[in-house]
A and B are shown apart, each in its own frame.
Chain A
Amino acid sequence: MSPKKRFQKLLLEIGAVVLSLIYIIPAWMVLVNSFKEKKEANKFDLGLPKEFHFENYLRVFQEGNIMRSLFNGLLIATVGVVAVILISSLAAFYIARAKNRMANGFYMYFISGMLIPVAMIPTYIILLLLKLNNTYIGLIFMFITYCIPVSIFLYTGFMKSIPEEIDEAAIMDGCRGPQLFFRVIFPLLKSVTVTVFVINFMGIWNDVNTQLFFASGDKWTMPMTVYRFYGIYLSDWNLVFADVVVTVLPVFIVYMFAQNQMVEGMTAGAVKG
């Protein structure tokens, strides 16, 4: 590479790093101000706090009813995602292997959910009629439903890449139906299962719409508490920011652990389209 080209490349890279500040600065603003005292935090200054007020976090936990929301989020997201993984991988197993008209029909039927928006109000009425409105079960059912299309889409795509000879060999050995799926196929789906887990866990954890329509305060998860906090403590940005940090942290940790697999899976589905 010529020196001129190398210089251009360096310049471009510096430009890119400067650009990344657009993302770093807001994150920094939230983090430093979450440790400040009220008056100091309300200036949104980017400097380090004069004194670290760790008790902001304590107050968020005590006054914000955070434990309840953390529990809500973990319960709803975990149960929802585990159920979706089971339900969708089984359906995708049929769709990817049976390859008949009914299987194709099912596929189109499920995939339509990625296009058609949720009919919020009729769903609310159905929940009302089933006496499931504002219950954990109702919310979990909703999330399972909304996660099904993308999960079946990803699972079906992945399962088509698993050679059918594997099935045949297992069948020769006497494996049948559910056993074939759970013993032989499901373990091979590990990487796409991680993807499905992460995407749906984040989707549920971050949800706004479903909760605003179908749940009231006591069932709300973390992002909704940020909203409530913001409403109540409008002038206490140190507390609002501390709540933001607590809300973001779990997703951030999940992302750190599953980053590569998640990126791979998400984009694999998207590029094959």
Chain B
Amino acid sequence: MSRKKIYSKWFAAPALIFFSLFFILPNLFGLVFAFTDWSIFYVGFDQVNFIGLDNFKQLFSERLLLKAAGNTFYFAIVTVVFKNVIGLALALLVNRPFKTKNYLRSVFFLPSILSTMVVAIVFSAIYNPQSGILNGFLNNVGLGFLAQEWLTNPKIAMTSICAMEIWQGTGLTMLIYLAGLQTVPKEYYESADLDGTTGFQKFRYITVPLILPTFTVNITLTLINGLKVFGQVYALTSGGPADATQVFQTFVYKYFSQGLLGYSSAAGLVFTVVIMVVSLTLTSVMRKKEVSY
């Protein structure tokens, strides 16, 4: 009995069909649709015209695209930095033999299982400038001057959305760091203790080099996640006030809901290319830095 016959490629057929038809094909079609003036209001295919680069010319002349790109990167960078710094700190914290270790892990992780939509609605209550608990807390501890119109002030609305995402997503980052920390053999720390190494030295020279692959995973995951931001913005501000919080995907959705299929395809294509370039660059840079043990 040959290997080929036992492990038949037909086992992969159902997955191939779904994935090709509903994921790869749309991405390829996107390459075509982006060059058409397809609109939802066209009745037949004969009305669809190829218009060359017109969609892209119009896209890149829109200031809103620049704004959306800027906001998307701002969101991605801020959330990557904070989720990873706080996530790692929390992982180091709950990796200690605390009595409340399991409680702490569960609580920090819990928001990761919630829908962005739900979290966003709850945060719109927390951020409420009159009665929300955030301003209420600031007023109570004498920091009332920090109280803000968190979502309607165009200068800070984007940062407020970032803060919500950090609140929700740090637990997952923590958990992945925690798993990474647990792969470091205990003997390494024990022999370092014999040499009289300080806690920080142990972290810098043992922990960090050995969990570099975990850094790669976490930074890649959080970055891709950040660039794909959509529900958070859609539910909290819908891109407002006055387009101050538009991101790539809300930008695409805006034109999609106006029925401009060709134009929004073009916008989606730009988005896909940006994500691919950023994440492939990042992965190849980070993989080079890893060490094996």
Q: How far is the CB of B59 from chain A (nearest CB, A)?
A: 14
Contact with A along B213-224 (1 / 0, CB 8 A): 110111001001
Contact B30 A251 (CB under 8 A): no
List the one stretch of A49-57, A61-69, A188-196, A261-269 in contact with chain B.
A261-269
Assess the A171–B9 pair: CB atoms within 8 A.
Answer: no
**A273 to chain B: which residues have CB within 8 Å?**
213-214, 216-217
Q: Decide if A209 touches B261 in the complex (CB within 8 Å).
A: no
* A42 (CB) vs chain B CBs: closest residue: B131
Interface size on A, residues (CB 8 A): 91
CB distance from A16 to the nearest CB of B (A): 5
A121 touches B12 (CB 8 A): no
CB atoms of B104 and A230 under 8 A apart: no
Assess the B29–A30 pair: CB atoms within 8 A.
Answer: no
Partner of B7, one of A98, A122, A251: A98
Q: Which residues of B contact A148 (CB under 8 A)?
A: 15, 18-19, 23
User: Which residues of A, 118-139, contact B by the 8 Å Cβ criterion?
Assistant: 118-126
List residues of chain B with CB within 8 A of the CB of A90.
11-12, 14-15
Q: Is the pair A121, B121 in contact by a Cβ cutoff of 8 Å?
A: no
Residues of B within 8 A of A2 (CB): none
B178: chain A residues at CB < 8 Å are 267
B117 touches A227 (CB 8 A): yes
Contact B7–A23 (Cβ < 8 Å): no
CA distance A102 to B105 in the complex (A): 41
Chain B residue nearest to A9 in the complex (CB): B96
State whether A259 touches B213 (Cβ < 8 A). no
Interface status of A166 (Cβ within 8 A of chain B)? no
- In the docked arrangement, what's the CA distance between A91 and B12, Å? 4
Chain B residues in 8 Å Cβ range of A144: 18
Residue of B nearest to A255 (CB): B113
User: B292 contacts the other chain (Cβ, under 8 Å)?
Assistant: no
B213 with A271: CB separation less than 8 A: yes
B80 at the interface (CB under 8 A from A): no
Question: Whole-angstrom distance between the alpha carbons of A95 and B115 in the complex?
Answer: 32
Query: Nearest-CB distance from A237 to chain B (Å)?
Result: 6
Bound-state CA distance A72–B293 (Å) is 48
Contact of A17 with B by CB under 8 A: yes
- Residues 156-178 of chain B, each 1 if its beta carbon lies under 8 Å from chain A, else 0: 00000000000100001001101
A79 to B123, CA, bound (A): 32
Looking at the assembled complex, report how far the CB atom of A250 sits from the nearest CB atom of chain B, in whole angstroms.
Answer: 11
Q: Which residues of B contact A244 (CB under 8 A)?
A: 118, 121-122
Q: B133 in the interface, Cβ–Cβ < 8 Å?
A: yes
Q: Which of B1-54 contact A (CB under 8 A)?
A: 1, 3-9, 11-12, 14-16, 18-19, 21-27, 29-30, 33, 38
Q: Does A224 contact B (CB under 8 A)?
A: yes
Chain A residues 123 to 168 lying within 8 A of chain B, measured CB to CB, are: 123-126, 141-142, 144-146, 148-149, 152, 167
Q: Which residues of the partner chain B approach A102 to less than 8 Å between Cβ atoms?
A: 9
Task: Tell me whether A271 and B1 are in contact (CB under 8 A).
Answer: no
Interface contact A16-B131, CB-CB below 8 Å? no
User: Known contacts A90-B12, A208-B116: does B179 contact A259 (CB below 8 Å)?
Assistant: no
| Contact (Cβ within 8 A) A119 B29 | yes
B interface secondary structure, majority: helix
Name the segment of B144-152, B189-197, B226-234, B239-247 touching the other chain: B226-234
> When chains A and B are docked, how far (Å) is the Cα of A87 from the Cα of B235?
33
**Complex CA–CA separation, A109 to B9 (angstroms):** 14
Q: How far is the CB of A112 from chain B (nearest CB, A)?
A: 8
Q: Which residues of chain B are within 8 angstroms of A142 by Cβ–Cβ distance?
A: 22
- Which of B11, B218, B271 touches A94 (beta carbons < 8 Å)? B11
Report the Cα distance A177→B264, complex, angstroms.
Answer: 45
Contact A124 B175 (CB under 8 A): no
In whole angstroms, what is the CA distance A202 to B96 when docked?
29
Contact of A124 among B25, B125, B256 (CB under 8 A): B256
- B167 CB to nearest A CB, Å: 7
Interface assignment of A270: CB less than 8 Å from any CB of chain B: yes
Contact of A208 with B15 in the complex, beta carbons under 8 Å? no
Assess whether B183 is interfacial by the CB under 8 Å rule: yes
> Within 8 Å of chain B (Cβ to Cβ): is A4?
no
The residues of B that contact A227 with a CB separation of less than 8 Å are 117, 121, 235
Report chain A residues within 8 Å CB of B176: 266-267, 270-271
Given known contacts A13-B99, A177-B8, A271-B176, what 7 new A-B pairs fall within 8 Å (CB)? Answer: A20-B107, A102-B9, A126-B21, A213-B256, A251-B114, A263-B175, A270-B221
5 closest Cβ contacts across the A-B interface?
A267-B179, A206-B115, A208-B231, A223-B115, A91-B15
| 26 residue pairs A–B, Cβ–Cβ below 8 Å | A16-B100, A20-B108, A30-B122, A88-B15, A90-B14, A94-B7, A94-B8, A97-B3, A110-B15, A119-B269, A120-B252, A121-B268, A122-B265, A124-B261, A148-B23, A208-B230, A209-B230, A227-B121, A241-B125, A244-B118, A255-B110, A255-B113, A267-B175, A270-B217, A271-B180, A271-B214
B interface with A by C-beta (< 8 Å) = 1, 3-9, 11-12, 14-16, 18-19, 21-27, 29-30, 33, 38, 93-94, 96, 98-100, 103-104, 106-111, 113-118, 121-126, 128, 131-133, 136, 167, 172, 175-176, 178-180, 183, 213-214, 216-218, 221, 224, 228, 230-231, 234-235, 249, 252-253, 256, 261, 264-265, 268-269, 271-272, 275-276, 279-280
